[in-house]
Structure 1
Amino acid sequence: MRSASVPRLEAVKSVTPLALLRKVRDVMNTAARPQTRLDKLVRVIAWGLQSQVCSIYLARGGDIFELAASEGLHKEAVHATKLESGEGLVGEVAAMAQPLNLADAQSHEKFAFRPETGEEQFSSFVGVPILYSHKVIGVLVVQSTDAKIYSDEQIEILQTVAMVLAEMAVSNQLVDLNEITGKKDELLLSQYYTGAKLSAGLAKAVAVLHRPRIDIDKLVADDPDAEELRLSRAIVELQASVDALLERSAVANNDTKREIMETYRMFTQDKGWLDNMNEAIRSGLTAEAAVKKVQEQMHARMAKQSSLYIKERIQDLDDLSLRLLYHLAGKTSTAAQTELPEQFILIARSLGPAELLEYDHEKLKGVIVEEGSASSHIAIIARMMDIPMVGGVQEVSSLVQSGDMAIVDGDHGEVYIRPPEDVEQAIDEHIEHRRARDARYAASRDLPAVTRDGHTISLNLNIGLYLDANQLDRPDVDGVGLYRTELPYLASSDIPDVEEQKKIYGEVLRHAKGKRVIFRSFDIGGDKQVPYVKIGAEENPAMGWRATRIGLDRPVILRRQFRGLIRAAAGQELHVMFPFIAEVSEFDATKALFDRELERAKVEGQVLPKSVKVGSMLEIPSLLYQLPALLKRVDFVSIGSNDLLQFLFACDRGSARMSSRYDRLSPVVMNIVSEIVERCTEAEVDVGFCGDMANKPIEAMALLGCGVRCISVPPPAVGPVKAMIRSLNVKELSEYMEYLRSLSDHSIRNQLEQFARDHGVDIE
């Protein structure tokens, strides 16, 4: 409420904003008690702003603001005067989270006279909110006997001091954030969550945030000019990064994404935002502190607006402010490039396959994400790496600090953060039990995968990362049923050349020592994006331009890979499988590319593979209706349940909400598997199963009951699946499955579990 007729109170010429802020900093850095420092602060601020009164009100429980220190008001009012939010001028500042600047305070409708303060002699009043993490934790007030309006410069100084004061108030526990919010401090308490079971296993280790928080250690600038230059450079970097995002095809070709990023760009170029940060620096703050100060003020102001659009822009502001802080700090945006503990559990909002692969798998013991489903590729990779993973844990990344103890139980979808001592002890016992169980599995590795009634089951591995020779040396493993050729290249910036691929595939064959290895050609696209293929925006990427579709449209990728495979398999058996085939003509076209490379190798006089077998994945329902034609062309087929079930149920496998809606163990799935096995048996074509459905003993048992005799699983699943096989009478199960397949139930899981209990089948 300013009046043009009221003269403005100018700042003391001899005290610059930076000088005042440095005096405030010096007071804060003294070893005195917090109350003593508050008392000194109000004297320094009153002197610097040439005012008779400076007071600090701090928040207490129940939206109460208590006079915590004052220079100029009666001393007996300190800790005695209290105002509710919205009560009096102090309460109005707190409620609105905005400065209030008055020449005649007592004439304002919100003025509440408190006789114990002795403030009736003062006319002018200016109050600014003390903000911390978007909460008003106090109010900073100056008053004067002169009926004058304080200048914008003085208000800016007060806001800057208020920000520094907020850090002191919280760090010295002058305010209790839990008392203010009415909540317990979730960053101190033990937390328990349930989520989606993405990858089995149990781990306990310290937490590491995938995207580390930025802590601002230095608030007051030594050289404001240098800080302005740092901010300017960081802004340029931020604007360039946003422009780069806009130019990416995934954004440029999608109106919604482009609109979001255009809003981001508008923020980065907003003159008010930039001017406010530079003004905060000129008042004495570092660039980082200036960004935080302006973010807090704008967040508080925007949060008071009724407009939904304005409120939605708060997240944009917070995200851009965080990005700007990363640029200022010169830090990478993920923890993968930092020094990591010897053992850690990764905490993230979301993760892409390439991001997970950046971490040292020897140190990474578990993953907890806010998003994700069991069929997402990030979960598949976690299972291949034998890393426990739980998804769908909402807001976990905001409730964990790096260094907190964490427990991830992928078997039951449970997560503990800062667990109590008794839980830690129980988990330690479980981990020891798992070690003993794994030792038992290891001791039985020489025993064959044969059922109790004499049926031999071919056990194979799904691999693609960190191939360990011991995994294929096991006598109970027949070979590799699925080698995911794309996984080593997800983080590569260029298409792998022929020699690179030949080397990797050759190493796999060398480790296999004559055992069969089925190489699946590149399955890129969908949630496995690679920088050397510009896919563009797709509304449903899982059903879009990916895998063999990309290979047929960009044949250089497939031909280069086929060339590497043929050279790597010189003099050996070569098995190649094409993914994501929707119709027989696609298989024919892909096979023609392979045959061309085989002919090229022959013409060049290269040593050819001893034999070549070519197969197809069965993962798109349309191909099931073309099985007779397909089976005449292939040497083998492999059922890929991950995509097959996604398309069968029209259920996005990347959706945490939908991940458990449909059960793999349903009569419809069992009937499809049984029919495929029957058709392949009639055509004398080998059929295997390489989907994630085979990883769990209970689900692998169901597949055996449908006639499957060749399954492929990640290395950690070999022990438990083989234990199931050796304890199963498959003839009894097959007879029971005929009845279960006739049902129309949502799931037959309970019936199968009961069968296992009744017949002594090990499905642990």
Structure 2
Amino acid sequence: MPDSAGGPRLLLKRLRELMAEPAEPQERLNRLVREIARNFVAEVCSLYVLRADSVLELYATEGLNPTSVHQAQLRLGEGLVGTIAASARPLNLADAQKHPAFAYLPETGEEIYHSFLGVPVLRAGRTLGVLVVQNRTQRHYSEDEVDVLETVAMVVAEMIASGDLVRLARPGIELDLRRPVHLRGHSFNDGIGLGHVVLHEPRILVEDLFAEDIEHEKERLEQALSSLRLSIDNMLSRRDVAFEGEHRAVLEAYRMFANDRGWVRRLEEAIQNGLTAEAAVEKVQSDMRARMMHMTDPYLRERMSDFDDLANRLLRQLMGRGPDALSEIMPRNAILVARNMGAAELLDYPRDRLRGLVLEEGAPTSHIVIVARAIGLPTVGQVKGVVSLAENGDSIIVDGEDGQVHLRPPADIETAYAEKVRFRARRQKLYRELRDKPSVTKDGVPVELLMNAGLAVDLPQLAQSGASGIGLFRTELQFMVALTFPRVEAQERLYREVLDAAEGRPVTFRTLDIGGDKVLPYFNVTHQEENPALGWRAIRLTLDRPALLRTQVRALLKAAGGRELKFMLPMVTEISEIHQARQIVDREVRHLSRFAYHLPTSLKIGAMIEVPSLLWQLDELMEAVDFVSVGSNDLFQFVTATDRGNTRVSDRFDPISVPFLRLLRQIVKAGEKHNTPVTICGELASKPISAMALLAVGFRSVSMSASSIGPVKAMVRELPLQELAEWMDEALASHCAKTDIRAGLIEFARKHDIPL
């Protein structure tokens, strides 16, 4: 191939003309490989396309036996072509037949060719096929030739992705682009969603591939890089980011990547070869993504998302687009697919069109999952690779029961899930029939089933679920979805709306629990914390910034005028913190009384048991408050030293275990001793089997997500509680290290026909 820069540019220009000319798909492919062979001065140019059955089929060739087109096949990993497809790396060989992976296909007549250059046809990191050039003489192709063939392969990838080649496939055979994919993750919220993919940060499609003016494209790239670097510098200079260790590390990595000369050089070389700046970014990023996906080092593979984010930022700079979540009108059965997202971002989507949520990352207790659960959205998280595999509009099934995702499912899977949805609908009908029936065990013990909430969008579910009230209203969610601190008037409006919706049923507000992983973008943090979950958060923060607590207490007191007000303090560590908070409350009561405001008829102040130190202050605690609520998420995290956001250890220990249930029973008995009401909130109460365990150790009031009320009530009404409590007492008294509480509960439920 000519060494001049004109060679690749002329080739791309000719390919652009070929793609613009009217032609049948096979004829266009034939002309394309002919043009590539001529430009490379190669005697052979062949295109293999990857099918859904992991077979690479010869789709076009110049130089090999033409009758072998659509006949010659290699499995993924077989032969040189299969090796390239499996590894997503090019092969440049002077004598291909001496390579250990060489596989002879007699129908092609390729035995007379020695030199071989093959590159993967990549799109968004996925291998769609392999493009090959060959010559009789033994030679190594130059680095420039490898780079140009990779650039041409990018153009071929867009041809494959466009769907034109589907018509060339034999009946019953599909291309890999439409291949069904079954992915496993973790169930974050129950339910099943059938619909079509909406990417939260949709891949920006580059339509203009070929450069008209190389120097102009280089200038555009430099301007976009300068803007990108400036935007990252601005983010790093903000006080609310500058001292947050993890956020700063990510942005510092972005800044390092954005200034990496190797990355910029590859972008410039792609433009020099005839691509637009946008196409250059897409090509370089696709190459990098394919290489990183095949790395064995998990840390390096995880950095792929940093490169993807940076490339998308640069593409948006080049194309003048904002980071808008919706690039097109949402379908009415949208399944949102994202790496991760904030709680506020989810609420930007029209709720009536969402049918499910799939996350590559996330944790069961992350804010996005809490909001998804609140609005009843089937959610599966930690689904690795789903963003790269999915395209906007793909059909998809989210199974929140089993933590499975079916992307582009075959007809039989869709049929099976449609029946499963109908079965769930019948089960939901049963739960609705139970809505107005009392929550009483089979042996006559009443159980209070409360729901967790945090936003106005949750409130309609109070009546729909049949909950006895709201056992946990997370007030911080209003702060997390706002752009600035909500003023006292806005807080008062929300709290009054909550109390009105409750229509006399009990509501327990939790005062502001920010800090740790709940970072407000407008709240300046002036120091870095190595362990934010154990740091400046919740009541520690609001006692240090008493104006925050005073404002919230004032809003609660005004909203509850003429009604009972219950609120609880999060993350209490010492009894003195409760006394300090009471002083603030008393001051606000006196202030409002002085100005003749209508005050609550009764005021009850509680504390959350989340910090293990309170377990040695239970008698003093029960005397200092009107009620307590066990925050099972944080308490279990701190008791077992298990970071609930760390996927490697979050499932390592079972809260339905002898040690943790003994601890919970200790809290219940302390409440009984002092006649102090005790409830429990968090994820532990949200499943019938774990709710069984809580009732067995003495809890009679539990709070959970609204969607869990029906299944738990169905369990409660069939439960012989006294018999279960006796079984639990024996199990907790056992000194056998192998006592399996969960298995025992399942067997008990089976024996007594208790629905789980």
Shorter-chain-normalised TM-score: which range? 0.7 to 0.9
1:759 equivalent in alignment to 2:752: yes
CA contact (8 A) 2:609 2:628 kept: yes
Counterpart in 2 of 1:416? Answer: 406
The verdict on how the C-alpha distance between 1:524 and 1:338 changes in structure 2, with shifts beyond 3 A counting, is farther
Contact 1:137–1:166 (8 Å) recurs in 2: no
Q: Tell me the distance in 2 between the aligned counterparts of 1:728 and 1:652.
A: 33
- Per the TM alignment, residue 77 of structure 1 is displaced from its structure 2 partner at its CA by 13
Aligned equivalents of 2:382 and 2:483: distance in 1?
Answer: 30
In the alignment, what sits opposite 1:4?
none
Q: Determine the C-alpha separation between the residues in 2 that align with 1:733 and 1:117.
A: 75
Q: Which residue of 1 aligns with 2:383?
A: 393
SS in 2 for 1:632: helix
**Residues 157-196 of structure 1 mapped to structure 2, 5 A cutoff:** 163-164=154-155, 167-168=158-159, 187-196=177-186
Deviation sequence 1:164-183 (CA, Å, 0-9, x none): 3554477688899x9xxxx9
Matches within 5 A, 1:198-237: 198-222=188-212, 227-237=217-227
C-alpha contact 1:390 1:413 (8 A) present in aligned 2: yes
Gaps in structure 2 of 5+ consecutive residues = 100-108
Q: CA deviation at 1:132?
A: 2.9
Task: Please give the secondary structure, in 2, of the residue aligned with 1:596.
Answer: helix
Give the Å deviation of 1:433: 2.1
TM-score normalised per structure 1: 0.81
Counterpart-to-counterpart distance in 1, 2:479 and 2:252: 32
Moved more, 73-82 or 525-534: 73-82
The structure 2 residue matched to 1:463, chosen from 453, 456, 466, is 453
3-state DSSP class of the match of 2:504? coil
Please report how far the alpha carbon of residue 747 of structure 1 lies from its aligned counterpart in structure 2 after TM superposition: 3.3
Change beyond 3 A, Cα 1:58–1:550: same
Shift of 1:198: 1.8
2:120 and 2:443 mapped to 1: Cα distance? Answer: 76
What count of residue pairs does the alignment treat as equivalent?
Answer: 730
Matched, 1:612 2:600: no
How much does 1:401 deviate? 2.5
Q: Which moved more, 1:392-401 or 1:627-636?
A: 392-401
Distance 2:364 2:150 in 1: 49
Question: For structure 1, which segment, 680-689 or 532-541, has the greater mean C-alpha deviation from structure 2 after superposition?
Answer: 532-541
Match of 1:657 in 2: 648
- Structure 1: runs of 5 or more not aligned: 1-7, 111-115
- Aligned partner of 1:628 in structure 2 is 619
Pairwise CA RMSD? 4.8
Deviation of 1:517 (Å): 1.3
Per-residue deviation at 1:600? 1.9
Q: 1:187–1:400: 8 Å Cα contact kept in structure 2?
A: no
Contact 2:202 2:327 in 1 (8 A): no
Report what 1:505 is aligned to.
495
**Quick one: structure 1 residues 82 and 359, their matched pair in 2 at CA, closer, same or farther if it must change by over 3 Å?**
closer
- Is contact 2:245-2:530 (8 Å) kept? no
Q: 2:533 aligns with which of 542, 549, 554?
A: 542
Would the alpha carbon gap of residues 454 and 309 (structure 1) be closer, same or farther in structure 2, given more than 3 Å must change? closer
- Take 2:247 and 2:479, find their aligned partners in 1: how far apart are those partners? 27
Distance 2:559 2:647 in 1: 40
- Equivalent residue for 2:130? 137
- How far 1:390 sits from its partner (Å)? 2.2
Question: Which residue of 1 is the match for residue 336 of structure 2?
Answer: 346
Q: Which residue does 2:229 correspond to in 1?
A: 239
* 1:591 and 2:582 correspond: yes
Q: Secondary structure at the match of 2:197?
A: strand
1:559 paired with 2:550, answer yes
Between 221-230 and 622-631, the greater mean CA deviation after superposition: 221-230
1:662 Cα deviation after fit? 1.9
Q: What is the CA distance between 1:678 and its match in structure 2?
A: 1.5
Kindly state the Cα deviation for residue 504 of structure 1 after the two structures are TM-superposed: 0.6
Stretch deviating more after TM superposition (502-511 or 246-255): 246-255
Report if the CA contact (8 A) 2:679-2:699 is conserved: yes
Tell me how far 1:616 sits from its aligned partner: 0.6
Question: Judging changes above 3 Å, is the alpha-carbon distance between structure 1 residues 128 and 595 closer, same or farther for their aligned structure 2 residues?
Answer: same
Q: Label 1:720 to 1:165 Cα distance change in 2 as closer, same or farther (>3 A).
A: closer
Aligned to 2:369: 379
Q: Name the aligned partner's letter for residue 732 of structure 1.
A: E
Rg (Cα) greater in structure: 1
Equivalent residue number for residue 113 of structure 1: none
- The residue type equivalent to 1:698 in the other structure is I
For the residues of structure 1 that align with 2:472 and 2:288, how far apart are their CA atoms? 53
Q: Which residue is 1:56 aligned to?
A: 45
Q: Does 1:673 align with 2:659?
A: no
Change (3 A) 1:593 1:404: same
SS for the counterpart of 2:624 is coil
Q: Which stretch shifts more, 30-39 or 623-632?
A: 30-39
DSSP-derived class of the 1:339 partner: coil
Instruction: Supply the distance in 2 between the matched residues of 1:64 and 1:733 (Cα, whole angstroms).
Output: 59
**Cα contact 2:628–2:679 (8 A) shared by 1:** yes
Scaled by the length of structure 2, the TM-score of the pair is 0.82
**CA distances 1:413-470 after superposition (whole Å, capped 9, x unpaired):** 3332233333322322222222222222222333222233332222322112345665
CA separation of 1:719 and 1:264: change in aligned 2, threshold 3 A: closer
Secondary structure class of the residue paired with 1:564: helix
In 2, Cα distance between equivalents of 1:256 and 1:385: 29
Distance 1:560 1:142, change over 3 A: farther
Q: Is the 8 A contact 1:132 1:167 kept in 2?
A: no
Q: Does 1:523 align with 2:513?
A: yes
Q: Quick check: 391-400 or 626-635, which moved more?
A: 391-400
Deviations along 1:149-207, whole A, 9 cap, x unmatched? 9999999877755643554477688899x9xxxx9966533333443232122222222
Q: Is the 8 A contact 1:484 1:520 kept in 2?
A: yes
Cα distance, 1:398 vs structure 2: 2.6
Q: Do 2:91 and 2:116's aligned partners in 1 also have CA atoms closer than 8 Å? A: no
Distance 2:293 2:470 in 1: 56
Identical-pair percentage = 40
Q: 1:128 to 1:594 in 2, by over 3 A?
A: same
Correspondence list, 1:33-112, <5 A:
33=24, 36-37=27-28, 40=31, 56-58=45-47, 97=90
- Deviation of the 1:682 alpha carbon: 1.6
Q: CA deviation at 1:351?
A: 3.7
8 Å Cα contact 2:55-2:73 kept in structure 1: no
Per mean C-alpha deviation after superposition, the further-off stretch among 717-726 and 156-165 is 156-165
State the partner residue of 1:730: 721
CA contact (8 A) 2:396 2:408 kept: yes
Aligned partner of residue 187 in structure 2, secondary structure:
strand
Query: Which residue is 1:698 aligned to?
Result: 689
Alignment match, 1:267: 257
- Change in CA separation of 1:615 and 1:494 when aligned onto 2, cut-off 3 Å: same
User: 1:459 & 1:579 partners in 2: Cα distance?
Assistant: 21
| Equivalent position amino acid for 2:748 in 1 | F
> 1:485/1:307 Cα in 2 relative to 1: closer, same or farther (>3 Å)?
closer
Letter of the structure 2 residue corresponding to residue 214 of structure 1: I
- Shift in Å at residue 75 of structure 1? 9.8
1:506 deviation in Å? 0.8
Task: Check whether the contact 1:204–1:406 (CA below 8 A) recurs between aligned residues.
Answer: yes
Shift of 1:565: 0.9
Change (3 A) 1:153 1:512: closer
AA matched with 2:205: D
TM superposition shift of 1:25: 1.0
Once residues 697 and 160 of structure 1 are traced to their aligned partners in structure 2, the CA distance between those partners, rounded to angstroms, is: 56
Name which of structure 1's ranges 205-214 and 631-640 shifts more when overlaid on structure 2: 205-214
AA partner of residue 45 (structure 2) = I
Decide which moves more: 228-237 or 213-222: 228-237
